[in-house]
Structure 1
Amino acid sequence: MKSILSNILIIFPFFVFGQNTIMAEYLHTSETSNAKMSKRIVLYASNEKAKQVHFKSQLNEENEYGASLKEDGSISIIEKPSDFNNVWYYKASTKDIVKSVVNSNTNYIVYDTGLDYDWEITDEVDSVGNYQVIKATTYFRGRALIAWFAPAIPISFGPWKINGLPGLILKMYDEDRKFTWTVTKLNLNAELTEDSLEPQISDEAKEMTYQEGLNMSRKAYDEKQKRINTKLGGRGGNFRTVRHRDQDLERKYEWEEN
């Protein structure tokens, strides 16, 4: 595995710490059959708690937002991402994620619970920046994932929803490399308080399970498809709206197994 971006910021790279807090910034890229996108994710973490801030996705310059006509005559519509304040909270002692999703019209708290990772830690060793990393694999919601974690940074968190390894995940990707996460900045002495890593839930927030949130999102998507189909004069079978959602990553859910 090649070293990551040459401009990576590493502070005290060989310092093994105890109760310090860290800040890790990741570049997340995704590639589907319709679009390539990237976004920044910033992880703030202590040994016990973590918070992730997700920034708006950016479309690869090869693609453009809006509608385009494909060679087969179908219409592809790439939606521009909304300006959501999207913050996720974690605890090492639980298997849950609390998501805060807020914009001018939306204020949701979404509970993604019971997350489980059956990690297989291999003997394969490499380096990311100045850190020795170890390869680990897992299978999560229908996708095989490969993670490279740094034992010298004993923080059990990582990008997206993945955690539970004996070291901070510095690089991760799926088996097809359609989705990647690469650390670009790392501060091992970030000044954070424990309170700043606790979920901020307002009285106005609507709370729901992740399954309820998915159902609501799918319903809104279907309704939008119908409206677009009406405007296109009934050509609904020949167009596709492209969005950047967790559903792109997750192929199967635990509640669907029974």
Structure 2
Amino acid sequence: MEAAGDGSMGMFGGTPDAAAAIGRSAEVAGLLNKLVNGLGAAVMDIPSDEFTIHPSTDLLIQALQNYSCNTYLVEPVHHTTDPCSHMVDCWAAKLKKDAEMIRRGEKGGKYIFLLNNTYDVLQMLQPPSASFAGVEELESRLTSMVELYKKCYLDECWAPLHRLNLDMFAAEFRAICDCQSTWKVTAELRYKLRQEIVDFVVPPYEVSLCDRSGGSGLSFPLKRLVFGGKKQKKRYYTGAQLEGKIRGLFEG
């Protein structure tokens, strides 16, 4: 009776072509592992500078695209660690480190930087751009990162406005808009982020307006101030005016 072949040969019927395919897959896997390790080193060596999209993000996208194109050769080979996860770990660590230096002193700036880059990679993973084992998990991870960075940005920049009276609100709101009107944000993210700011800021403000006007439903309350014996009327932003200012935030 003929001896059984080894486990790998048995999987493919023990043909020479199957053995060659396994050998090629192992070789490709080895090359990709070198790419992963090289990416980690290359990312950490990139100098910090002012970027909208960090060079390490472009490098990660290229690596993921190469991985996706060759995944049919790599998937038969067992990996002790997920190569994509390792690449993203290196990239995320580099981004967080550089965000602190690149946007130092800018309230909310580092989160905009992180959002720009994370959203760019997430867009690349949308079908049919990427197709490989684990892409759904990677997409879920990046989506969670985007949601976290958005929450941190809103909490740092806009949540403090909720605690201000209407007079202080107006001054702080103008200061934030003046500062962030020229911040660079990628196209699709720009429109989504504006809407989230509108939803976060405008409804509570309109409640405060209504309370200030005694529930009269006025589009804006009037405050009588006395200067040198003369009464002057002060107008506050309407909700629509706030929204208009917010939709002017950010540039491409």
The interval holding the TM-score normalised by the smaller chain is: under 0.3
TM-score normalised by length of structure 1:
0.25
More strand by share: 1
More helix by share: 2
Ranked by relative contact order (alpha carbons within 8 Å, sequence separation 6 or more), the top structure is 1
